[in-house]
Amino acid sequence: MLQWRTRLSNDEVKALPSTGLIILPAPPDGQVNYPFFTVLNSKIVTPYTNINTLSWMSTFCSQSGSPGQWGSFLVNDPGNSLTQLTQLLTEESSMFVFQVLGLFVPNAVLPTWQRPPNRHFSDFPPVYHHSTYNVYIDNQGNGDYTGGDADNELVFDTFYVNSPQQWGL
pLDDT digits (tens, 9 = 90+) for 13-31: 999 999 889 999 988 888 8
Q: Is 64 exposed, middle or buried (0-12, 13-18, 19+ CB in 10 A)?
A: exposed
pLDDT of residue 74: 80
* Residue among 164, 156, 119 nearest 138 (CA): 119
Domains of the chain: 2-164 (2.60.120)
Helix, strand or coil, per DSSP, at residue 109: helix
Q: Distance (Å, rounded) from C-alpha 2 to C-alpha 114?
A: 25
CB 22 within 8 A of CB 162: no
Inform me whether the pLDDT recorded for 114 exceeds 70: no
Q: Is 100 exposed, middle or buried (0-12, 13-18, 19+ CB in 10 A)?
A: buried
Q: Distance (Å, rounded) from C-alpha 74 to C-alpha 28?
A: 29
